[in-house]
Structure 1
């Protein structure tokens, strides 16, 4: 057969399709993933485990180019060189041994804090997880409990991802409750409200904003509870301290970000609680900046108020803002020059100051500063309660916690100083008790069981007895230590007060 007839018989040569046409489906997937990453910051190709999604991070301030947000179903790392690694390994080992009839408690926090923008430093977060572990797995406690860590990232920006993952896993994981919640913000409020709408109980530990138990429209979030105080509790305690210690010229500085409900509700609560007139108020609005850190910016801003403060000559400044911002204020007061007639003053604030403690502070320079704050908990707080007949009971409960924390789990006792482990322990202990009382493993049955933890059926905790108000979900009669921070960062007890002026009462009308 001739060459011409060959071509006629076989037709023109077939040209192979281009790569894009042959892999059209794959190309579409890649384009979709890239578009999603551009819009949301989520990078699904990173090495995050089940229930987690990778998002971009500032490697200089986080220590990783990405962090994992969502529900950590595998108890694996949530960033490169994750400093939570040893605790995640411990949690995984315990979870694997929980058996088939397990119940799950979720610990929700910003587990990968960004040093440039987040107020809670990593050591505080680590201690919260240690407290959760202590409550979930006491030496002679009920068996069959799991812990899962949930990370919503800086400012709870990825709250929707976390909510979706918790809701999706709730039935299969037999979720008892979501605990901790981290910081009070509009995002964390939205997350809690979403979980509540799906019948999932949340037990807050460190969230103190009064409006955390309402959604963004102001409606009651029915399935939210908390073991910590409210900002009204803290402001009332501070107002009492200020009045009884003879302060007469009070100034307030407040954070004014609508997103940060901790600062805004603390300011509102102090205004309504103060027994001493507030001379005037200065407000600031912290914002992420491209060219400088939040702390450096606020130092400059607070220095610009020097003449205002010198002119007012307050003997006390009430600071309604984050601990990170308080450090900037103290530095500005101490290092911006003396004020005629104002050699020293007291600065008082809320519990977020605990994130500032442990670090050296400039308190004794141009203007001497005495720093006080209302704390969530303190390891030696019951030593200020020895005269009360109830002291032995509270001290015994605390000592039992310490024995589990240091003995059963081998955590250093020095980790207790800021109260983070204590308050998260009590949130998880309440969840464990509610689950133990419940004959059902269905997550939607749990809120009613949490409500059974009332003043007649309280849970013994490290920070006192835990009992929830049946209307608000707030804790009843919370003990509030008032602490000082010295220039070397050390913390010392000043007083112990109660949110309702008395320890928990167990009479039939105790909830009123």
Structure 2
């Protein structure tokens, strides 16, 4: 027993001694700054102020207000211009607007889209802050990245919600980008927290208010037509008939493709042929094996009567490109086909993977609804719904975009319409912010989203570069101009004609009917 007691005392002493040595060593290392440095290195996942790298990810997400360009060199010039504009704003004179986009996208087409939306939002910010009437409050622009596919939307939305107070005074979020399930969740969460959202290029019907009389996104406004309105405009232009049309659609779908499919199906009631589905990868920017399915679908098309000459395509741009390439290799080269699709077609202008031979085929035509086009308003052919004068306001800004004080912004491209539509979305955000406080004081967050139903009529509409923006009671643009665009053999976007959801331009007062 005595021997056991001795052994226990020695064991306890040894444990205490080791603990003492460990604590002493930690104190010494901390004093030298080594321990703290080791811990910080392990835990510090910061990429830049406001931006972090989530565990298990190689992306940097969050909200940036510095010159950080999310590792994308093509954004650097515009991000520096935004930072310079923000820096000149006097404390207390501004509110913040966040541009929500996938700044870490990897797909070249998506990156081009984000760049153009970044440039358009900045140009509208610069215009608002340098207006000759010196209207207030001024606008500070920050960049919000939810990840390349929106995976980290919750993190970024939480961060944005925390910016509504203090010196940030966030009053709106614009952009949003693609109509995806993750972006839909982000919009739902932002609006549920009372943060107004202005969608630039979202077109999905289920990412809009007013469907079945309900408003699931209180405070959401949009500058682009819904897929249903785009389809109606396309139908009025192309005179689509169920007797001669064939539908190809994304089986699994996302908010954009699902609602575009539904819109096309309404046009094809009574069609003689069953629609043909395809199943793309979960990340629709990836190639996958969808081309094999499209090769088989083209064989089916070749077996239809020659009167079946219109193909309605409800899918994303990568799959659209694959489908066009396969059509260019179809066995029935003597058959004429016209492919009609939504605004995802705008991504194909300049797509290096698009087979030039397919577009040079005189019997194959590819047309799509664009959100905007630089040639749409060269003349006031429509008489109402927009004007050449409105479009020239943006053109004058672009004239100075190559150097300070406006630029430089890097290469400018307008054919895909993204810069134009993002410019108009930011202008609508500014209209809501300043309309909520005519005296120029900082408006209450809750008041900004209440402005959308009154954006209409001769005086209160936004005379956008993409056409008039007259919002209905649910924040949707009424009878918005829809440019019909055709892909040329050189893979460029050629403007064809303006079409209208209502079949004709809105009246001069631009008031939605009851």
TM-score, structure 1 length as denominator?
0.82
For 1:346, the equivalent position in structure 2 comes to: 338
TM-aligned CA deviation for residue 413 of structure 1: 8.6
Count of residues paired in the alignment: 472
For 1:399, the equivalent position in structure 2 comes to: 392
CA contact (8 A) 1:203 1:225 kept: yes
For 1:67, the equivalent position in structure 2 comes to: 59
Secondary structure at the counterpart of residue 287 of structure 2? helix
TM-aligned CA deviation for residue 208 of structure 1: 0.1
TM-aligned CA deviation for residue 499 of structure 1: 2.2
Q: Closer, same or farther in 2 for the Cα pair 1:366/1:483, shift >3 Å?
A: closer
For 2:482, the equivalent position in structure 1 comes to: 480
Q: Equivalences for 1:241-320 in 2 at 5 Å?
A: 241-243=237-239, 248-258=243-253, 260-274=254-268, 277=271, 279-288=273-282, 294-313=286-305, 314-320=308-314
Corresponding position: 1:150 with 2:141: no
Q: Equivalences for 1:170-181 in 2 at 5 Å?
A: 170-172=164-166, 173-181=168-176
Matched residues in 2 for 1:373 and 1:195: separation? 31
Aligned match for 1:359, one of 351, 357, 367: 351
Write the deviation string for residues 274-318 of structure 1: whole angstroms up to 9, x where unpaired.
4783622111222248xx983252212212334322222531111
For 1:90, the equivalent position in structure 2 comes to: 81
Secondary structure at the counterpart of residue 48 of structure 1? strand
Q: Equivalences for 1:41-440 in 2 at 5 Å?
A: 45-55=44-54, 66-79=58-71, 82-100=73-91, 101-115=93-107, 120-138=109-127, 139-140=130-131, 142=135, 144-172=138-166, 173-213=168-208, 220-243=216-239, 248-258=243-253, 260-274=254-268, 277=271, 279-288=273-282, 294-313=286-305, 314-335=308-329, 337-339=330-332, 342-359=334-351, 361-362=354-355, 363=358, 368-383=363-378, 386-390=380-384, 394-407=387-400, 409-410=406-407, 415-439=413-437, 440=442
TM-score, structure 2 length as denominator?
0.82
CA contact (8 A) 1:247 1:315 kept: no
Secondary structure at the counterpart of residue 299 of structure 2? helix
Please, which runs of 5 or more residues in structure 1 have no aligned partner?
1-10, 35-42, 58-64
TM-aligned CA deviation for residue 405 of structure 1: 2.3
Return the structure number with greater relative CO, CA threshold 8 A, min gap 6: 2
Secondary structure at the counterpart of residue 504 of structure 1? coil
CA contact (8 A) 1:77 1:85 kept: yes
Q: Closer, same or farther in 2 for the Cα pair 1:503/1:306, shift >3 Å?
A: closer
Secondary structure at the counterpart of residue 415 of structure 1? coil
Matched residues in 2 for 1:114 and 1:388: separation? 39
Please, which runs of 5 or more residues in structure 2 have no aligned partner?
1-12, 31-35
Root mean square deviation of aligned Cα? 3.5
Matched residues in 2 for 1:390 and 1:111: separation? 36
Q: Closer, same or farther in 2 for the Cα pair 1:86/1:235, shift >3 Å?
A: same
Matched residues in 1 for 2:23 and 2:265: separation? 65
CA contact (8 A) 1:378 1:417 kept: yes
CA contact (8 A) 1:75 1:148 kept: no
TM-aligned CA deviation for residue 355 of structure 1: 0.8
Q: Closer, same or farther in 2 for the Cα pair 1:511/1:163, shift >3 Å?
A: farther
Write the deviation string for residues 349-387 of structure 1: whole angstroms up to 9, x where unpaired.
00011111123533158894211001100001024x644
